[in-house]
Amino acid sequence: MEKLIQQTGFVIRLRYWKRFLSFFRKAGLRMLGMEIGRNTTLPAVKITWPHQVAIGSNCILEDGIYFKFDGIRKPGPSIRIGDNVFIGTGCEFNIRRLITIGNDSLIASGCRFIDHDHGVAAGELMRKQHGLEKEITIGRDVWLGCNVVVLKGVTIGDGAVIAAGAVLTKSVLPNEIWGGVPAKKIGERPVIEGLKPVNEITVERTKSELI
């Protein structure tokens, strides 16, 4: 009996209570301008400017994510996340210009996205120097391992895989595998016969949704 009570309490706390809180959390953030798609569960997250964040449908977000638009109030969104995206606990989006994440991507815990830097000229405090700002683009069906850092101007192509702990300073072509500090190409995803490409799967799913 005691075990049954514990299991019931676990299910209620993990599944239904989180959904209950998510419903009211999303309602409040939508009033502040945040865009949140259908069936996306929103846990406790930190957000500087809610109207700068747009999240698609059927996304799974874990606790402790920080959506930081690093600037004064201006029109958005500057943080754009597609459909069916997973974002693990403790990820940080430190954005001044723009970051886009494509559909069906997996972002593991602890990843960091920074689209700007500081100037490093000697003779002046670095905190007072204005650095470059370049948008970050992440394609569809991309997998980022734990604690990946993606820096300004990087584009990650569809289907790419980035190994845990990598620091990306250069762009990645579709289906490539990168790792290391700084990251470099270490392989490519194998092609399995009979497996449909991502774009064909997406087209078929879109057609079925329209029927």
Q: Which structural domain, as residue segments, surrounds residue 63?
A: 2-120+131-152+198-210
Active site amino acids: 118
- The answer to whether residue 85 is domain-embedded is yes
Q: What pTM does this model have?
A: 0.82
Q: Convert the pLDDT of each residue in 77-96 to its tens digit.
A: 999 999 999 999 999 999 99
What does the CA dihedral 43, 47, 52, 54 come to, rounded to 10 degrees? Answer: -10
Here the tokens at position 66 are 């920080």
- Give the CATH number, domain containing residue 142: 2.160.10
What pLDDT score does 3 carry? 66
78 neighbors 99 (Cβ within 8 angstroms): yes
Domain count along the chain: 1
Cβ distance 73 to 53 under 8 Å?
no
> pLDDT band at 111, cuts 50/70/90?
very high
* Residue 54 in domain: yes
Alpha-carbon distance of 177 to 179, in angstroms, equals 7
Q: Is residue 163 part of a domain?
A: no
55 or 198: which leads in pLDDT? 55
